Chains A and B, each alone.
Chain A
Amino acid sequence: MQNHAYTSRQLVLPLAAIFAAIILGTLFGSSGAANAQQTAASSDRIWQDLKGDVFGDRAILVDTGVVRIEAPKRAQDAAIVPVDIYIDPAKAADDIKSVTLIIDVNPAPVAATFQIGKDAGVTHLSTRVRVNDYSYLRAIAETRGGELHMAQTFVKASGGCSVPAVKNQDEAIATMGQMKLRQFPPQETMTKAQELQLMIRHPNNSGLQRNPQTQYFIPAHFVQKLSISQADRPILSMEGGISISEDPNFRFDFTAHGTGDIQVEAIDTDGKVFRNQWPLEATGL
């Protein structure tokens, strides 16, 4: 029963396939010991093995203040773990062009990579992720010049009845592709940027879970490309997305340029494309 070959037919992203091959042996391996709960040390070992595959032999600067990451120390619901990423371009040599979110212990640890539009003014991004076990969550920011800055936080997730799975599957399928955009005006002073919250209805199944009866993997089905722009000017885009929670949800600040519409395009692993757009709400500026 424990010796079935792993099937990788559902692994849509090549990157995910590589990482899954590395990691699955650890998570769902053949010995009883492999089922043991992860610790900070074992999470870190996974990261040490993994970082070369993601970033090659490039230096990664840690805790420079360029990027910060926050998540609850103990996740209440392993399927919906809120995570906040803050970037401070003033502390870096130049602009931040992307942030990669890593969840060490997940079968495909690269949760998502976010590209930040030039002059988009994004300094804070909140989303929600699935976390399979106790794990570090890491945010690695890359500057336009190619410097890497990392921050990390340890999350105790999963255990008990709280598992990273879709709660209401019929509803998730029936409503797939619906979107909602909330616009929050600048708070306090006029120097603070306005915020957007984009919500997309999607089961966002990561797959990578073995059916206990058949031992086959449940097919993955998630939003793997997302772009948010204002009048064709990129604000934020995402690639990957395998560990983003059901009904992907992104809240971020940005600097509007003109009064053009907010446009969104999302593409899932089945190739379905979801598009929507909304007028920019007056901010009083």
Chain B
Amino acid sequence: MHIGEAMSIDRTRRKLVNAFACTAVSAAMLPCCPGRSALAAAYGLEFKLRKIADGVFAFRGVDELMSAANQGAISNLAVVVGSDAVAVIDSGGSLVEANALIAAIGKMSAKPVRYLINTHMHPDHIFGNAAFREIGATIVGHRNLPRALEARGAFYLQGFREQIGGALMKGIEIIPPTMLVDDRLQLDLGGRVLELQAWKAAHTDNDLTVFDSATRTLFAGDLVFIGSLPTLDGSLLGWLHQMDALAAVGAARVVPGHGPVPADWPQALTAQRRYFEILARDIRKAIADGTPLSDAVKTAGASERGNWQLFDDYNERNATAAFAELEWE
């Protein structure tokens, strides 16, 4: 399924390039061009936006690292349709993906995309922001998101050029939110209200969740990983300490940042909680024993290897961040 989706996006991308070959158009200009409906048709056929509840749709990202082959489409994205307007949760890992999403929404609803909500700073969730700016959406994020993007944006643009290639990077900009969430914020889409909640440092220091009370669907961003190893870029203790509060959200289902969509709630938290507890236990023992960081990270959490996709890509990095944090306990 994942491979099929990735390839189909690739096909639509080639169509896109062909359609505008004579105008040297930048990806950011796409939505204003007359060919948009044709593009929408092309994308809408291929970009699988699945209905998971009344007025709630989700795209399932592949469990891979971002690459040219998967068009950066590795994180789950979601759309909530109200009677007046549409809100989108995360913009994806490229403009190709973001434009495919916008086209798919256009096929489904004529209502304006009023809000793009960024759940956090990582490129697979924000690289498509420019496409949403172009269609006039207000970009919404955690109060810490602008600061985090300020410190990281240049590295993301440089580092991902190597990883996903210059062609897919074309037109990608780091665009911070203009509507910030300090603690909680409600967004009225007409007939349904989204409840946004800013969390303390966990996956990152700018994690935001979205709760659709009409269907009791929780959009957890990367505060929830299922199947694909969680990545730690904020605070292990913060994540563990807030897991109970997260579990207490009265959701019927969750759209995790990575993993199957939708998933049962709060059972979706079980595996990642176990992983973090094992990682913390192993690291704490190493610290108590006086084992240096460089040695400790080679074995910490190793018993979890068989339980996760991308374990070898991220576990040692998680262990490194965890060691530096837990040394201060």
Q: Which residues of A contact B (CB under 8 A)?
A: 28, 32, 35-37, 70, 72, 76-77, 80, 82, 84, 126, 128, 132-133, 158-171, 175, 178, 180, 182, 184, 199, 201, 205, 209-213, 218, 245-247, 249, 251
**Pairwise interchain contact B321-A80, C-beta atoms closer than 8 A:** yes
Chain A residues, Cβ within 8 Å of B321 = 77, 80, 167
CB of A248, distance to nearest CB on chain B (Å): 11
- The residue of chain A having its C-beta at the shortest distance from the C-beta of B201 within the complex is A168
Whether B278 is near chain A, meaning CB under 8 Å from some CB there, is: no
The CA-CA distance from A32 to B201 in the complex, in Å, is: 34
The CA-CA distance from A182 to B166 in the complex, in Å, is: 47
The CA-CA distance from A32 to B151 in the complex, in Å, is: 21
Looking at B151, B156, B316, the one whose CB has the most chain A CB atoms below 10 A away is: B151
Chain B residues, Cβ within 8 Å of A184 = 290
The CA-CA distance from A251 to B295 in the complex, in Å, is: 14
* Other A-B pairs, 18, CB within 8 Å; known A32-B166, A199-B328: A35-B158, A76-B297, A76-B316, A77-B317, A77-B320, A160-B159, A165-B155, A168-B205, A169-B144, A169-B147, A169-B151, A171-B201, A171-B205, A212-B149, A212-B173, A213-B150, A247-B324, A249-B324
**Pairwise interchain contact A164-B155, C-beta atoms closer than 8 A:** yes
A76-B316, A169-B147, A247-B324 known; A84 and B152 CB under 8 Å?
A: no
From B66, B122, B174, B317, give the contact of A212 (CB < 8 A): B174
Chain B residues, Cβ within 8 Å of A80 = 293, 320-321, 324
Chain A residues, Cβ within 8 Å of B204 = 167
Q: How many residues on B have C-beta within 8 angstroms of the other chain's C-beta atoms?
A: 47
Whether B327 is near chain A, meaning CB under 8 Å from some CB there, is: yes
- The residue of chain A having its C-beta at the shortest distance from the C-beta of B176 within the complex is A213
The CA-CA distance from A199 to B154 in the complex, in Å, is: 29
Q: Which residues of B contact A (CB under 8 A)?
A: 65-66, 122-123, 144, 147-163, 166, 173-174, 176, 201, 204-205, 231, 233-235, 238, 290, 292-294, 297, 316-317, 319-321, 324, 327-328
A77-B320, A212-B174 known; A165 and B152 CB under 8 Å?
A: yes
Chain B residues, Cβ within 8 Å of A132 = 155
- The residue of chain A having its C-beta at the shortest distance from the C-beta of B200 within the complex is A170
The CA-CA distance from A32 to B122 in the complex, in Å, is: 22
Chain B residues, Cβ within 8 Å of A77 = 317, 320-321
CB of B228, distance to nearest CB on chain A (Å): 13
Chain B residues, Cβ within 8 Å of A165 = 148, 151-152, 155
CB of B297, distance to nearest CB on chain A (Å): 7
The CA-CA distance from A171 to B320 in the complex, in Å, is: 18
Chain B residues, Cβ within 8 Å of A205 = 151
26 pairs from A and B in contact (CB 8 Å cutoff): A35-B158, A35-B161, A76-B316, A76-B317, A132-B155, A133-B158, A158-B159, A159-B159, A160-B159, A160-B163, A161-B122, A165-B148, A167-B204, A167-B235, A167-B321, A168-B205, A168-B238, A178-B328, A199-B328, A211-B150, A211-B154, A212-B174, A245-B324, A246-B324, A247-B324, A249-B327
**Pairwise interchain contact A169-B205, C-beta atoms closer than 8 A:** yes
CB of A43, distance to nearest CB on chain B (Å): 15
The CA-CA distance from A178 to B173 in the complex, in Å, is: 38
Chain B residues, Cβ within 8 Å of A126 = 292, 294
**Pairwise interchain contact B152-A163, C-beta atoms closer than 8 A:** yes
- The residue of chain A having its C-beta at the shortest distance from the C-beta of B287 within the complex is A182
Chain A residues, Cβ within 8 Å of B297 = 76
A76-B297, A168-B201 known; A210 and B235 CB under 8 Å?
A: no
Chain A residues, Cβ within 8 Å of B123 = 161
CB of B319, distance to nearest CB on chain A (Å): 8
* Top-7 shortest CB links A-B: A212-B153, A163-B155, A76-B317, A82-B294, A212-B174, A168-B201, A165-B151
The CA-CA distance from A164 to B155 in the complex, in Å, is: 8
Chain A residues, Cβ within 8 Å of B160 = 160
The CA-CA distance from A25 to B242 in the complex, in Å, is: 43
Looking at A84, A160, A182, the one whose CB has the most chain B CB atoms below 10 A away is: A160
CB of B176, distance to nearest CB on chain A (Å): 7
**Pairwise interchain contact B155-A37, C-beta atoms closer than 8 A:** no
Chain A residues, Cβ within 8 Å of B317 = 76-77, 162
